[in-house]
Every structure is written in C-alpha cells, then in structure tokens.
C-alpha cells in the first residue's frame, strides 16, 4: 500500500513536471509569436515610412518640376541694364579752337566759357580747348581731331579757324564763330541777315571811321596813315580796304605795310615810320599778338598806334573806339547757350557788338605827350599796358 502511494506520488511529480514544461514551451512559443509579430509590424511600419518618404520625395520632386515649369513658361525677366549716370549723359561737350594766344582772343574765349558754365554748371560742361599757337598749318589736323571727338558744338575764334571749321565739319555739328570781322566776305554766311550751313556767330567788325575821327581829334595835323596788317587774313584785308575808303573821303593819304607772320612786323613798322604820322591796324591776330614789338618801334619814332580792338590798346596801342572782346565773348556765349538748349542755328543770324567805347592807354598818353581835348575827357576810358 505504501509502495503504491510512493509510485503514485512519483507519477504525479513527473506529470507536474511535464505540465510545467509544456506551459513553458507554450509561453516561449507565445513570446516568439509576439516577437515575430512585433518584428513584422515594425517591418511594415518601416515599409510604410519608406513609402511615405518616397511619396514625399515624389511630391517634392513634382513640386520642383512644377516650379521649374512655371519659371520656364513665364516671360523672361528683363536684363538689368547698367546704371547710367544722368549727369554724365547730360554733359555738354564744347570744342574751342584758337589760332594764336593773345589778349583779345583769350578774353572772348574766357567770356564764352563763363556764360556757358554759369548756365549749365561747371560739372556739366566739358571744354576741349585747342590752340594752333600761330601755326595755321596745324588747324586742319586740329579740326579733324575735334570733329572725331563728336562735340555738341564747335567754337572757332577768328576768321581762319572759322573757315577751316566750316570746310571740315560740313554742317554736321553746329558752329558759333567769334572775332570774325566780316562773315559774309569770309564765306561763312550768305549775308548779315542769315546764318550759313549750321554756322553763325558774333562779328568784331569795328567802326573804322570812328577810330580815324578819334585819332584826328588827338592828332589834327595828320596827313598820312600807316596801315599795318597780315595780308593773308581775310578779316584784315576787309578792314584795310574799308580804312582806305574812309581816308580817301577825308582827303588823307595812306601807306600800307603787310606781314605774313609776326616775325616780320618790327621791320615793316620801321620802314613805314619815316613816312607816316600815325599808325592804324585792324583787328589782326598776328599784329595783336606782337603789339609789344609794334609799340617799341612806334615809340622810338614818337608815333601813336590806333588799332581796331580795345585789347590791342591794353597791349601797347595808343587808343581806339572799339568793342570789348569780353563783351563780344559774353554775347557769343549767350548765342551758344540758346543753340545748346535747342534753338536752331537758322534762327540765330550773325550778330555784331553794338557797345563801343573810346579808350586811351594812359601809359602811352604820357609817353607820347598826348593832350586830350577837354570835350573828350568825360567820354574816354583809360587803361594801362598789360605786360
């Protein structure tokens, strides 16, 4: 009995062990299934995430393509042009050409520059100033260079430069001359009432009869007048002929001495001095630039010089009834301004300077012992020699 009980207990123990083992296996299987399930779910989530990422990338790609398509389909943007300096684009280019350096022409030049600069502002005007320095053979090349720079306007000073300017420019650029005695005779304008082919300006035509009358008031015993000028200058030829006509009407004789350059002046004056009572010279550029030499010879013979320009009196002449070259330059400058502002050259015929003044060189009055009549004292403007 006891033995039986032992056997039953042993069987029960074995059975319980088997039951526990089976339970553990079931738990392990259950855990394994759960782990496998979790792994599967995790894989599915990863796949889902991958799909989402892919989808997002696809969406982004499609969006980028759409944006690019919009940019491509849109009208191309205008190219940004470089900024233009409005001040620079509005700057006026003014070319000035002189044949020689002397007081009268320089006064006209400076006065024109003054008026133009005042009107447009110094920073808004570019002046290109050329000077042949007495060598007329340089003028053609100077004007070729000037035309090549394409200025807005060209300002030749004196007859020679003005004539070459006209033949070089040929109407392409406006020309305003100054210090030209007779623009009609010089072939610049068809008449005093109309401009030429894009050419106009201000004349320095002097009132020669007034100059001779003034000289006779100071030297009433005058019988013979010495006329000194450059025979190659058209303006000088015109004035010399006018002077001869005036002298003839007044019953006076004349002797003329002509030069072709300044180096000849001293000898020409020396030769005339023994035969004349006074000297007259037109507004001649070569004579004007050599006035100190003219004065030296004339003073040696105690003879006065009555030139056509006030600036020539300031350079050593005795007296004149003349215009101021500063006034001429101011008047020419106003004409230039009008044309640069849009007025037609054709609407600006050539002009003359109406204001004239009786001028005496105080130094020469004392040197020559001139007695000024009382009736002239209130009318005469005195100047001194500018060295």
Q: Measured at the alpha carbon of residue 304, what is the angle toward residues 301 and 307, in degrees to the nearest 5?
A: 135
Say whether pLDDT at 343 is over 70: yes
- Sign of the dihedral defined by the CA atoms of residues 271, 302, 314, 255, in that order: negative
pLDDT band at 103 (very low <50, low <70, confident <90, very high): confident
Greater model confidence, 77 or 247: 247
Taking a C-beta distance cutoff of 8 angstroms, is the pair 139, 161 a contact? yes
Say whether pLDDT at 19 is over 80: no
- Sign of the dihedral defined by the CA atoms of residues 35, 39, 45, 48, in that order: negative
Say whether pLDDT at 33 is over 50: no
Q: Measured at the alpha carbon of residue 334, what is the angle toward residues 333 and 340, in degrees to the nearest 5?
A: 85
- pLDDT (average), residues 120-127: 96
Say whether pLDDT at 62 is over 60: no
**What is the per-residue pLDDT for 13?**
53
Greater model confidence, 88 or 323: 323
Read off the tokens for 329.
């330059």
DSSP E strands, the chain: 92-98, 125-131, 153-156, 175-180, 199-203, 224-230, 253-259, 278-281, 305-307, 319-322, 351-352, 357-361, 380-383
**What is the per-residue pLDDT for 12?**
54
What is the distance of C-alpha 111 from the center of its chain? 15
Greater model confidence, 238 or 38: 238
Greater model confidence, 96 or 378: 96
Tell me the per-residue pLDDT of 183-193, one tens digit each, with 9 for 90 and over: 999 999 999 99
> Around Cβ 379, how many Cβ atoms within 10 Å?
11
Tell me the per-residue pLDDT of 177-235, one tens digit each, with 9 for 90 and over: 999 999 999 999 999 999 999 999 999 988 999 999 999 999 999 999 999 999 998 88
**What is the per-residue pLDDT for 10?**
52
CATH number of 90-203: 3.40.50.2300
In the chain, what are the domain boundaries? 90-203, 208-322+356-383
The third-level CATH classification (topology) of the domain covering 208-322+356-383 is Rossmann fold (3.40.50)
Q: Do the domains spanning 90-203 and 208-322+356-383 agree at the CATH topology level?
A: yes
CB burial of residue 152 (10 Å; 0-12, 13-18, 19+) = middle
What is the distance of C-alpha 186 from the center of its chain? 27
Tell me the per-residue pLDDT of 314-329, one tens digit each, with 9 for 90 and over: 999 999 998 889 999 9
């Amino acid at each position: 009995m006891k033995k039986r009980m032992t056997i039953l207990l042993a069987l029960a123990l074995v059975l319980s062990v088997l039951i526990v083992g089976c339970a553990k296996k079931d738990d392990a299987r259950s855990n394994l299934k759960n782990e496998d399930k979790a792994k599967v779910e995790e894989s599915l989530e990863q796949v889902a995430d991958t799909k989402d990422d892919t989808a997002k990338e696809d969406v982004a790609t499609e969006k980028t393509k759409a944006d690019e398509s919009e940019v491509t389909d849109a009208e191309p943007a205008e190219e940004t042009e470089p900024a233009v300096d409005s001040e620079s684009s509005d700057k006026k280019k003014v070319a000035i050409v002189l044949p020689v350096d002397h007081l009268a022409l320089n006064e006209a030049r400076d006065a024109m520059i003054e008026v133009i600069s005042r009107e447009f502002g110094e920073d808004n005007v570019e002046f290109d100033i050329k000077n042949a320095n007495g060598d007329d053979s340089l003028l053609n090349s100077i004007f070729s260079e000037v035309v090549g720079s394409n200025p807005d306007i060209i300002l030749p000073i004196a007859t020679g430069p003005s004539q070459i300017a006209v033949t070089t420019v040929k109407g392409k650029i406006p020309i305003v001359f100054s210090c030209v005695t007779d623009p009609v005779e010089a072939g610049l304008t068809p008449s005093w009432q109309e401009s030429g082919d894009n050419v106009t300006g201000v004349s320095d035509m002097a009132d020669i009869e007034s100059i001779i009358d003034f000289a006779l008031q100071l030297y009433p015993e005058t019988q013979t007048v010495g006329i000194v000028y450059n025979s190659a200058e058209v303006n000088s030829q015109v004035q010399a002929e006018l002077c001869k006509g005036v002298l003839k009407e007044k019953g006076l004789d004349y002797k003329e001495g002509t030069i072709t350059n300044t180096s000849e002046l001293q000898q020409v004056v020396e030769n005339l001095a023994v035969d004349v009572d006074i000297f007259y010279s037109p507004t001649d550029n070569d004579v004007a630039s050599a006035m100190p030499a003219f004065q030296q010879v004339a003073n040696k013979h105690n003879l006065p010089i009555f030139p056509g320009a006030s600036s020539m009196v300031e350079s050593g002449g005795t007296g004149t009834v003349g215009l101021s070259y500063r006034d001429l330059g101011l008047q020419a400058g106003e004409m230039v301004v009008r044309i640069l502002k849009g007025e037609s050259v054709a609407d600006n015929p050539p002009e003359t300077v109406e204001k004239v003044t009786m001028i005496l060189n105080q130094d020469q009055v004392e040197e020559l012992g001139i007695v000024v009549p009382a009736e002239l004292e209130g009318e005469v403007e005195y100047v001194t020699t500018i060295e």
